[in-house]
Chain A
Amino acid sequence: MLELRGISKSFPGVKALEDVSVTFDAGEIHALVGENGAGKSTLMKIITGIYRPDSGQVIHDGTPLNFGSYRESLEAGIDIVHQEIQVVPESTVAEGIMIDKLITVPHTGIIRWDEVNKAALTYMRMVELDIPPNTLIKSLSPAQKRLTQIARALAADARVILLDEPTSALTEHEAENLFRILRDLRARGVTLVFVSHKFEEVFALCDKATVLRDGRVAGTRKIADIDSDELIAMMIGREFVETHLGRVNVNRERVMLKADRLTRRGKIHDASFELHEGEILGFYGLVGAGRTELARVIIGEEHTDSGALSVNGAPARIGNIGDSLYKYSIGYVTENRKEEGLFLEDSVRSNISVAIWPRLRDRLTRRIDQREEDEVCRETVRSMSISTPGLNQTVENLSGGNQQKISVGKWLAADCDILIIDEPTIGVDVGAKDQIHHLIRALAEDKRKAVILISSDMPEIIKLANRILVFREGRIVGEVDDVDNPDKGYREISLAIGEFLK
């Protein structure tokens, strides 16, 4: 049992946690939810000894812990499985699992690899990791890496395991497998703290949920007693239900983008579709089903092996992203905003205007018109309600939701006719998510753009799209039309999508 009593923590200018008291029982999976900035990460860092609380206590099985370091918390049997997968890529699975207790020849420090591998196998069996223990970690899939991390926690005899967004980068099937293992651990009396933005997971897996809001506990509830609307209301402090944004006004006469049997060996096969003006076309499927891959072929990030593409009725040859952007006015909002979407150490201004510098250039002096640049940026900041102290603000210091808005805003500023938006709300809190949804909607509705929305979040895609293409194993396996019909319920559409995935 892990008990937090009256934990408070301040940083210069910010009160991150205030009087937080939670009890995590042994043999329970306890969800910790809250919007970005609600204090979840700070709390995790206090439990694992990375931060010291200003006041309050962490009590583990009756003993108050005075954590000076991560090391000490590990020794007390508390381990964390981070959101970013933290493993040494060049080491073997066995080494990664046994890192804290490598078996050596007595008094020498020489490692006995045969023993280490054998011991690692025990823990690998517990998490159903069915590979040779001397496999290099870098060759594992994200799911296997995640399991390696959990096995490491088990090897360290962890009685409390904190899981920070453990299913990010995992497919649905892999996530289910992970859940089975977690339930198994629960049966062995391990305390599991589960941090996630995905409510379906919280409801499928957890026994209790504690909601943090603005650094305080908004409440702890048994999962059996509440539904997701109630949970959202606790998180954002207001009622909040919207499954549908209404009819999308599509101009079917005007085909903006047409793909004809596009193929990229090993990734996508014979993908054909049409995208119309004012349309929001959903690409639904699991991670790796070919949606992002198809987007990357369209924008010229990857070449095609066969098939043809036409933009606005004319055949298009897109060799690189410069072509896609400047010749065909196609923009792509990446799913990895931190790695590929943003210049984190750069200003809000540069992040928004990067794709339009050539347009802002004076033809004679070659100078970028700074006044015009600022104007475009301020307009983007305003229309997307990005909260930033100014255009000079470093993007790194903004919240995840604001970063995502900037990542989308770049293409809004670029005024592309066709916009491909890949997983726009991953790791974004509920409030910002809703704003981004309305923004995507407005792009199609008011600005008459053609939008492709790639998402694995079924409620999101059903809320926004008017037509959904279902992807499986690199192929478009089905199409669900008339998604925006207000007479159709969420259930009807989701069943229709599910039909194609069987």
Chain B
Amino acid sequence: MSKETAAGAPQALEQRVLVSGRTIGLITAGLILFGGIAIVSDTFLSGYTMFVLSRQVAFFTIIALAQAVCLVVGGMNLSVGAIGSISTVMLGLALANAGLSGWIAVPLAMICGAAAGLANGLLITKLRINSFIVTLSMMFILMGLRSGISGGQPYAVPKSFGYVGQQGILGIPYVFVIMLAVLAALSYMYRNTVLGRRMLATGGNADAARLSGINNDNMIICANVLSGLLAALAAVLWASELGSAAPETGDSWLIVTFAVAIIGGTGLTGGVISPYGVMMGGIIYTLIRHGLIELKANPYYMNVYIGILILLTIAIDRIREIYGEGKSK
């Protein structure tokens, strides 16, 4: 009987996509950072700062998710930034050159991102090339295309296009609301849908997944399309916030996506993701960046702290794994 109750206990949700002890650790770290900055700075707790920072959080979280969905199936996407850039160019062409409305231009940009992801997915699965090589090549190809097409010049976008990126509701930026919707959708997908759980299975053990009737190729293709869509979404939101479609949009994304995804607890070998954890990663990343500015630290050293932070999160995980419970045999 006791066994029955244990199995049916209220925590009967997928443990790998849930708020785990690790996420609680992340929340604690976030709160400490938040409290620390609030003490040091007198402008930090203003509505304006919160607005700007939550917009950054949303942006970092979405691009990190674009990386995380590929990590989940046991791959990676080095071309996230390049997909962001080419989608931005697509958006700019549609809005500025073709004079289309945002209602058409945005879907076009998203399709462009999804198509790039599809190309990645097909190359990885049909030609059986490692995702590192495929997406590395794709990064160069797309970067070259965006430079060639745009000539490096930003595209002007209509003023009304900035609405979503710059405005908000009740002091919360629309961008942040969109991120919350994306998080909810992804959490639902990984926990409650066949597609999501199969993607986790593929990343967890591809051989076992195949022998359980799962078509791994389809899972990898889906993950890459999803990654492309998320990268394009981030690019569109960025253009809206900036009020212009800048071709160099994705140039700095790559390292950030790995950093935030890893801090957020995404397993590098696949099979493990916590979308809300990734958001916590985004929050911590944003707070550290902002905290250093508040402390008037030399911004050139900023990446040192991010590097240490990544090592620290992974080290804590390893220590827990080595000395933690259940590994005593």
Contact = CB atoms under 8 A, between A and B. Distances in A.
Q: Are A and B co-members of a single complex?
A: yes
Interface of A: 11-14, 16, 301, 320-322, 324-326, 332, 334, 339-347, 349-350, 354-355, 357-358, 361, 366-368, 370, 374, 377-378, 381, 388-392, 394, 397, 410
B15 A347 contact: yes
24 contacts: A322-B213, A339-B207, A343-B204, A343-B208, A344-B204, A346-B201, A347-B14, A347-B16, A349-B12, A349-B14, A354-B201, A355-B213, A357-B197, A368-B194, A370-B12, A370-B13, A374-B8, A374-B12, A381-B3, A389-B6, A390-B6, A391-B12, A392-B11, A397-B327
A378 B208 contact: no
Nearest to B192: A367
Nearest to B5: A390
The listed residue with most B CB atoms (<10 A of its CB), out of A343, A349, A388, A391, is: A343
The winner among B13, B325, B329 for most chain A CB atoms within 10 A is B329
Contact of B194 (A14, A358, A388, A389): A358
Contacts of B200: 346, 350
Interface string B166-199: 0000000000000000000000000011100110
B192 A392 contact: no
B194 A354 contact: no
A456 to B, nearest CB: 20
B194 A12 contact: no
Given A347-B14, A347-B15, A350-B14, A342 B208 contact: yes
A378 B12 contact: no
B317 to A, nearest CB: 13
A354 B214 contact: yes
- Sorted nearest first, the 9 A-B pairs with minimum C-beta distance are A11-B328, A325-B213, A390-B6, A343-B204, A340-B207, A357-B194, A391-B7, A390-B7, A322-B213
Given A343-B205, A389-B6, A14 B214 contact: no
B43 interface: no
Q: Which of B4, B192, B212 has the most CB of A within 10 A?
A: B212
Given A374-B7, A377-B7, A390-B7, A326 B208 contact: no
B248 to A, nearest CB: 39
B193 A367 contact: yes
B221 to A, nearest CB: 15
A366 B191 CA distance: 12
Given A345-B271, A347-B16, A355 B212 contact: yes
Given A390-B3, A410-B212, 20 more contacts: A11-B329, A325-B213, A340-B207, A340-B208, A340-B211, A342-B205, A344-B205, A347-B15, A350-B197, A357-B194, A368-B193, A368-B197, A370-B12, A370-B13, A374-B8, A377-B7, A391-B7, A391-B12, A392-B11, A397-B327
A392 B326 CA distance: 13
Interface residues of B, number: 37
Contacts of B16: 346-347
A334 B208 CA distance: 9
B90 interface: no
Interface of B: 3-4, 6-9, 11-16, 192-194, 197-198, 200-201, 204-205, 207-215, 271-272, 325-329
A341 B208 contact: yes
A370 B198 contact: no
B197 A321 contact: no
Contacts of A366: 193-194
Nearest to A357: B194
A305 to B, nearest CB: 21
A12 B201 contact: no
B11 to A, nearest CB: 7
Contacts of B327: 397
B204 A341 contact: no
A2 B264 CA distance: 50
B214 A378 contact: no
B215 A322 contact: yes
A336 to B, nearest CB: 8
B210 A321 contact: yes
Nearest to B324: A12
Nearest to B213: A325
A397 B326 contact: yes
Given A361-B194, A367-B192, A370-B13, A326 B213 contact: yes
A374 to B, nearest CB: 6
Contacts of B6: 389-390
Contacts of A361: 193-194
A368 B192 contact: yes
A355 B214 CA distance: 8
A394 B207 CA distance: 18
Nearest to A332: B211
A381 to B, nearest CB: 7
A389 B326 CA distance: 12
A389 B205 CA distance: 23
Contacts of B197: 350, 354, 357, 368
A301 B214 CA distance: 12
Contact of A346 (B13, B192, B193, B204): B204
Contact of B326 (A320, A394, A410): A394
Which of A324, A334, A368 has the most chain B CB atoms closer than 10 A to its own CB?
A368
A341 B206 CA distance: 10
B64 to A, nearest CB: 22
Contacts of A346: 16, 200-201, 204, 271
